[in-house]
Each structure stands twice: as C-alpha cells, then as structure tokens.
Amino acid sequence: MKMRIFLVTCVVLLCFLGVCQGGNLRKNFYRDSCPQAEDIIQSKTQKHVSANPALPAKLIRMHFHDCFVRGCDASVLLKSTANNTAERDAIPNLTLAGFDVIDDIKSALEDKCPKIVSCADILALAARDAVSVQFNKSMWEVLTGRRDGTVSLSGEALANIPAPFFNFTQLTQSFSSKGLTLHDLVVLSGAHTIGIGHCNLFSNRLYNFTGKGDQDPSLNSTYAEFLKTKCKSQSDTTTTVEMDPGSSTKFDSDYYPNLIQKKGLFQSDAALLTTKESANIAAELVAQNKFFTEFSQSMKKLGAIGVLTGSAGEIRIKCSVVN
C-alpha cells in the first residue's frame, strides 16, 4: 500500500515536471545523435515557405491529421501500396499537401545523419517552423523522440478525422477520444486563421442547408452572399476560398472575431458557438497574446498524442514507405 502511494506520488510529480504530457518525448532528443537536425529542418522549411506562403497551413494540417490517426507517427506520409490504401488517399486527405517538402527535408537529414531522425519528428518540427517564419521565432515548443509507424489505413483516417459537418457533440467526442479538452478544441480550431477550404465542404450552408433550398441560420448572411460569389453552385468541388478572408497566410487571432460574427467557414467552426462555455473561450481568444499562449500549450498536447517512443516503430529511411 505504501509502495503504491509512493508510486502515485512519483507519477504526479513527474507530470508536474511536464514529463507525462509529452510521454517519453523530450527537448532536443537529437542533441547528441544529430546535433544539426533541428537547424536543418528549420532552414529547409524557411526556404520552402518563402517560395510558397500557403505551406504553413498545409504542414500544420498534415501534422494534425497525422496525430489524430494512430498518434503522431507519420502514418499520414505513407503511400498506398498494391495491397493497401493509405491515410493520404482517404477522403479527408483532400488537398493534403507538403509531402514533397517533408521528403526534401528527410533526404537532407539522411545525408547528415542516416536513420536517426524520424519522419514524425520532422513533420512536427516543420509544421511549427513553417508557422513561425512570419514571427522569426518559434511559436511553440516541440518535444522530440517520436518514432515512425508502419501502418497506414485509409479507413482509419475516415474514422478519426473530424468532418467539417460535425456538430458540437461530435467535435468534443472526437477531441476527447484523443485526450484533448473542449478548451483545446476551441484553441486549435484557431489554426483556421490560415489556409483555404473547398466550396463543397460548406456550400450546403449557402444553398440547401436542410434540403429546402435554405441557408444555414448560423452563418452570417452578408458573408454568405460573399461566399456565393465564389462558390457558384453546390456541386463545385474545385474552387477554394480563404478561411480568413484577406489574411489567410497571416497566423493571428482573427479567427475568433470572425467566428463571433458568424463567419466561421465550416459547420464545425460555427458549432463552437453553440454552448456558453465554448463561446466564452472563443471570446477570450480574440486577444492575440492569449491565443498564442494557449495555442502553444494545445499544440504540445496535440504533438504528443499516441506517440511511439523508445524502441517502438522504426526510423523510416524514406518518409513515404516503410523500411
């Protein structure tokens, strides 16, 4: 009995020290094994972002999709094989992009330190570094030591990636199944301050919300008129719109004032206003400093979901195929 109390106390203490949040991840895992790793990832990422300002959105979304399916194990990067349809070929993969950037970073790392740096860590760091470019400082801490999985199933992406049509209950269930709170849900949705969305993922809200040719009453009607000029019909699957009109490459807290004015693009965005508690969280996050602080903490939790560490998994040589 005493032993049990002692052990529980130890676990609680370690949690306070931040060990349990990141599992066995740690700061600068590659300090001895590949000291240049984080610098290489950062400088490569910066180069790619300066050529393509849309990249930060692609990489952070890819990291999110990775972490929600089998944990952050780079399973999202694996290509389908003759026998298996992988996550990246599942329906929610729509416009996942940036695979080539991860491959480029990986090959630079393989030159310097072969078989040392995992694809899962590369993705976590590159997502952070890409979003951080405009600030010239790291916007959140990324612990490292993830290892790569060997399994990627399209069906699991479908089952685990929340859909833009999700309501509040479905969203909170999805996040809590990954150990994330309502607070994390509202905070991480703020990533929709950058990037684009395809018309067909929200045009039901413009044209035929309940099957009666109506509009979603939770969508700002002025904004709906604007969106209709972009998405001319409900069957348009190719046109994209900026999620934060006018500043879709700028990472800031604009998502929240937009959301509060009923200008969230997806039903899943609008759903965040449906309870008092979540609406209050959104209201607090309008303050940019608050948003950045909270985002940094929630990203750390996201990046620790279901990670493989120690001798689990492998260090892939090429991020798109298992060894």
Ligand X SMILES: *[C@@H]1O[C@H](CO)[C@@H](O)[C@H](O)[C@H]1NC(C)=O
191 binds ligand HEM (CB under 6 A): yes
176 binds ligand X (CB under 6 A): no
Options 171, 219, 273, 282; binder of ligand HEM; rule CB under 6 A: 171
How near is the Cβ of 248 to ligand HEM at its closest, in Å?
8
71 binds ligand HEM (CB under 6 A): no
- Only one residue has tokens 């040392």, namely 116
Q: Name, in order, each residue with C-beta under 8 angstroms of 61's C-beta and a sequence gap of 6 or more.
A: 96, 191, 195
Which two structure tokens, joined as six digits, stand for 247?
A: 């500043």
> Of the listed pieces 85-93, 108-116, 291-299, 301-309, which binds ligand X according to CB under 6 A?
85-93
Q: Which H or E run contains 197?
A: strand 196-198
- Annotation says 183 is catalytic: no
Q: Which does 173 bind (CB under 5 to 8 A by kind): ligand HEM, ligand X, none?
A: none
Options 15, 91, 287, 312; binder of ligand X; rule CB under 6 A: 91
Q: Which of 48, 63, 65, 198 is catalytic?
A: 65
How near is the Cβ of 215 to ligand X at its closest, in Å?
12
Q: Which residues of 206-221 are buried (b: 16+ CB within 10 A; e: fewer)?
A: bbebeeeeebbeebbe
Query: Is 39 annotated as contributing to ligand binding?
Result: no
SS3 194: coil
Q: What is the DSSP string of 213-269?
A: S---TTS-HHHHHHHHHH--STT--S-EEESSTT-TT--SSTHHHHHHTT--SSHHH
Q: Name, in order, each residue with C-beta under 8 angstroms of 94's C-beta and a sequence gap of 6 or more.
A: 198, 201
Query: Is 66 annotated as contributing to ligand binding?
Result: yes
Chain residues 88-147 in contact with ligand HEM, contact rule CB under 6 A: 94-95
SS3 27: coil
What span, in angstroms and rounded, lies between the C-alpha atoms of 64 and 157? 11
Query: Is 257 annotated as contributing to ligand binding?
Result: no
What span, in angstroms and rounded, lies between the C-alpha atoms of 243 and 58? 13
316 binds ligand HEM (CB under 6 A): no
Tell me the number of residues near ligand HEM by CB under 6 A: 26
Which two structure tokens, joined as six digits, stand for 123?
A: 């993705």
208 binds ligand X (CB under 6 A): yes
In the complex with ligand HEM, the residue whose CB is nearer, 41 or 270, is 270
In the complex with ligand X, the residue whose CB is nearer, 220 or 297, is 220
- Catalytically active residues are 65
Binding-site residues, in ranges, read: 66, 69, 71, 73, 75, 87, 162, 192-193, 244, 252
Binding site for ligand HEM (CB under 6 A): 54, 57-58, 60-61, 64, 94-95, 162-164, 166, 171, 185, 188-189, 191-192, 194-198, 201, 266, 268
